[in-house]
A and B are shown apart, each in its own frame.
Chain A
């Protein structure tokens, strides 16, 4: 199956810095999702995007659904230590309610240096 191209693979940042990561695909997706995974745990849904151009925030997190429907980005403002983890983008081609699996990026490993 296809995978999404997620970058960067890892980020080493200072506490308080802003973070930006993105995901691209050669195919169109109808939904973009962003998840965070802590070590030894399952991914937790952060933001879901359903419309091209949509910009959605969840606290310090902001994500956008690209106009072409082939990309999405996630920004984290003023990073804090608990933001450490692996962030995954995921896309789904079927419209809402479809029982299709998600296509995942390989993740961005966020490391915050004190």
Chain B
């Protein structure tokens, strides 16, 4: 089974803090993704990566950056957290083969910024 793990299930931070969200997958997937999920807005893509050190902006990259130094790990960074970044953050991964459109999600990190 594909396993995607996220470093924290719940996180509370203060406005202006630098926040790191970590994601690790154990299936040797090439592609990794960060989404945020908000009520009434659904899931929206923040950033994705198709290889180590490669990154692409998604639909809402403002206020975020990412890092992919190793194939299995994809980090989302909030340089200076703001209250409008309070959300559920979901990491996903997929292979580059034919089934590469099947993304597997982690359990999510619920971030609250005070």
Partner-B contacts on A (CB < 8 A): 1, 3, 30-31, 33, 35, 40-45, 48, 50, 88, 90, 92, 94, 96-102, 104-107
Contacts and interface: CB of A to CB of B under 8 A. Distances in A.
- Categorize the interface residue count of chain B: 35 or more
Contacts of A50: 98, 101
B90 A43 contact: yes
A45 B102 contact: yes
B99 A102 contact: no
A1 B35 CA distance: 13
B33 to A, nearest CB: 6
Nearest to B58: A101
A96 B103 contact: no
A88 B37 CA distance: 12
Contacts of A42: 4, 90, 92, 105-108
Contact of B42 (A33, A100, A106): A106
B26 interface: no
A32 to B, nearest CB: 9
Nearest to B51: A99
B30 interface: yes
Query: Which of A98, A101, A104 has most chain B Cβ within 10 Å?
Result: A101
Sort A-B residue pairs by CB-CB distance and give the 9 closest, nearest first. A99-B50, A101-B45, A1-B59, A97-B100, A42-B105, A31-B101, A96-B98, A99-B31, A106-B42
A98 B42 contact: no
24 contacts: A1-B44, A1-B59, A30-B101, A31-B101, A33-B101, A40-B110, A42-B4, A43-B105, A48-B102, A50-B98, A88-B43, A96-B98, A97-B96, A97-B100, A97-B101, A98-B101, A99-B31, A99-B48, A101-B35, A101-B58, A102-B33, A102-B43, A104-B44, A106-B42
